[in-house]
Structure formats: C-alpha cells, structure tokens
Amino acid sequence: MKRKQAKADNAPAAAGMAFQALRHKDFRAYLATYLLAMMADNIEHVISYWVAFQKFHSATLGGVAVLAHWLPFLLLSVPVGGLAERTDPRRVIQAGMAIFIGVSLGWGFFIWTDTLEIWKAVVLLILHGIAGVLWQTASQMLLYEIVPPDALQSAVRSNATARYLGLIVGPAVGGFLMQWLGPVHGIFANALFYVPLVLWLLTIPHGRAAADAPRRAVRGLRDIVQTIADIRHDRLLVSMILLAGGGSFFIGNSYQAQMPNFAADLGHGDVSATYSMLLAADAAGALCAGLWLEARGRSDTGARKAILLAACWCLALTGFALAPSYPVALIALFAAGVFELSFSSMAQSLVQVNAAPQARGRVIGLFNMSALGMRAFSGITVGLMGSVVGVHASLAWSALAMLVFAGLLARYAGAARDARAPG
C-alpha cells in the first residue's frame, strides 16, 4: 500500500490549465471523431430501441437487450486490454468501428424487410457490445499516446464529456433522422458517422506508449484472475473499480432502455418527443458537469469524493423514478447526469493515472469490465424486475441498493483517502 501511495503522490502534476488536453492537436482530432462515433452509437440505440418497443411492447425485452448488449464487456474487456497492450490500438479501434457499421446496416435491413425478431435483435446487440469493447478499451490506451502525462486527467474528463455530448446529440439527431428519413434510411445513414474515426486513425503515428508495453500473450480468463491478484492490495484502484461496478450492476444505463416506458407513463404530449427529451436531460447534466470541471482546469480527486458523488447520483435517480410530473422528472435526470459524469470520470481518472505501466491495458480492461460489463446485470435489477413491479419501483429500489453499497464502500476506501491523483 505504501508503494502505491508513493506512486500516486509522485504522479505528474497537472498544470492547472483549463481544457488542457484540447491544447494538443491530435487530441482535438481524436475527440471530434470520437464524438461522431459516440453520436452514431446513440442514434442507433434511439432508433433501434424505439422500433423494438413499438413492435414488441415488452419491458422484458428491454432487460434482455441490456443483458445481451453489455455481457461482452464483462467477458472481453481484460483480454482486449491485453490485446491493446500487445498490438496497435488503432487497429483494434478500427475493427470495432467495422462491426458498428455492420450492426447499423443489419438493423436497417431487418427493419426495411420487416423481418426483425427478438433473437435477431439480441444478436445485433451482442455484436454491438463486442464492437464497444474493442473501441472503448483501446481508445483509453490511445490516450497515453496522444497526450502527455500531465494532460491525461484532462483527456479522460474530456473523453467522458464527449461521451455524454454524444448522448445529447444522438437522441436529437436520431429523432431528426427518424422524422426526415424514417427509421430504415435513418439507421443506414447512421453508419456513415463511424467512418471519420476509421480514416483519422490511418493518419496518426503509433508507438510512444506501446514502446514500454510488455509483449505478453493474451490469456483470456487467466488475465482477469491475474489482474485482480495484482491489484488486490491497492485500495485506491480496488475501491474505484468496485464503485464503477456497483453503479453498473445496480443501475447502469438500463433505465435508458426503459425510457419509452417512462415517457409513456409520464404522459406529456407526444411520447416520442418526451422520450428524446428525457434521454437528453440526463446527458445535458453530464455535459454541463464535464464542461465545468474542464473550465476549472483543476479538480480535487479522491476515492471518498467520488463515492459521495455516486451517492448523490443514487438520490437523483430515486427522485426521477418517483417523480410525480414530467418537469420534476427532467430536473431529476439533469441532476443525475451531473453526478454521474462527475463520479465516473473521477473514478476513471484515478485508475488510469495510478495503473502501473506494465499492466496498464489489463487494469483499464478490468475497470471497463466492472464499469461496463456489470451493466449486463442491471438488465435484471431494473429491466426484468421492472416487468414484475414496474420500472419506476425497480429503478427506485435499485438506486437505494446502490446507495447502501456506496456507504459500505466509503468505509473500505477510507484507507485510500489520501491516495489522490493530483489535479
């Protein structure tokens, strides 16, 4: 623990400049193409979830969709992290983009021919999840190559902010494409938004971070076990990985898959417009939080602060689940977005800054396995349970369960309270 404490204290200090990562040309290009791909990811979700809801009207399907989509993150994140250590992360990202393009075209074909069935939707969601594993884990490794160490925290926050900006722009553009082109041509057009990232990756050099990476074989499940063993005494890394995993297990983004149900229950005007606005409110809060943190140019980060923000996220989502009116629901979702971006980017920053270089890809993969892979089970806690007690009650109970977990985790993380990534 003392060794890890020293490592955290000796990490490169951030310069304290506003939007520090954006001062680097390569990162600006990366962020722009990442944003387009994230927008396309969410356009696909908006169109495909809406079509599936209209066709099947099943809360259970929403839960199954979450399970099928996120399970690849649970199984593959650490091996893909090892792969990104061993090989060129640019090519790993491009493979993910190719699968994304194929999935968008697949949705379009099945909707066009009116041959969409539940099993086909599940297959597409699994492929989408595999593409996400390849993209997200390798992208986090690429950050080490396109920004210097003192700009890494800023790059992580900016990356997280771009993700939520994609959540804002995606529903708006997805709704526009459905209205203008219809769901078939809209999702076909969506495939084009992945192309700029593929092309940009052909133009950048590779090798700075990879030069120090060990050339170890990718060993699948053994990598997961070994990585857990390697960090088990590091309370800072363990607490942040558990925090991300708890949020994903109990809540994740499963309430977004159930958003058509929430929109219908709130009964405010056109259901499709209500649906898009609810999605956008959550993302708008996160965007505001990300911009504020970056504008400050300096933020105190620590395990206990991240856990406190996660607890506030739980309370905001409980308020949304029990909201008596549409305006209250929008306000609660906006607050939830603020707290989610704050705690999740803080946790990710702490992990990326403090991960040992010789195991960096696998530690990042383990974080993604927890932060994204555990969302597979939120399809049970919110989605499938929602088919029994209703989506409002299931989200409220899930958020309160996460609140209790955060309280327990705060006690465990107490020993790591001084192990902060400088910011």
List CB contacts of 343: < 8 A, sequence separation 6 or more: 243, 247, 306, 307, 309, 310, 313
Q: Of 163, 257, 240, 210, which Cα lies nearest the Cα of 360?
A: 210
Q: Mind listing the domains of the chain with CATH numbers?
A: 21-416 (1.20.1250.20)
- Look at residue 49 and tell me whether its pLDDT is greater than 70: yes
Residue 131 confidence (pLDDT): 93
Please report the pLDDT score of residue 220 as a whole number. 60
Tokens 């369960």 -> residue: 401
Pick the most confident of 95-109, 268-282, 345-359, 372-386: 95-109
What are the tens digits of pLDDT across the range 225-254? 888 888 888 888 999 999 999 998 888 777
Half-sphere exposure of 380 (CA within 13 A, CB side): 5
317-328: average pLDDT: 90
Nearest alpha carbon to residue 17 among 153, 195, 220: 153
Q: What are the tens digits of pLDDT across the range 375-401? A: 877 767 666 676 677 788 888 988 999
8-state DSSP, 381: I
Rounded to the nearest angstrom, the gap between the alpha carbon of residue 337 and the centroid of all alpha carbons in its chain is 12
* E strand map for 199-291: none
pTM of the model: 0.79
What integer pLDDT is reported at residue 383 of this predicted model? 63
Sequence-distant (≥ 6) Cβ neighbours of residue 25 within 8 angstroms: none
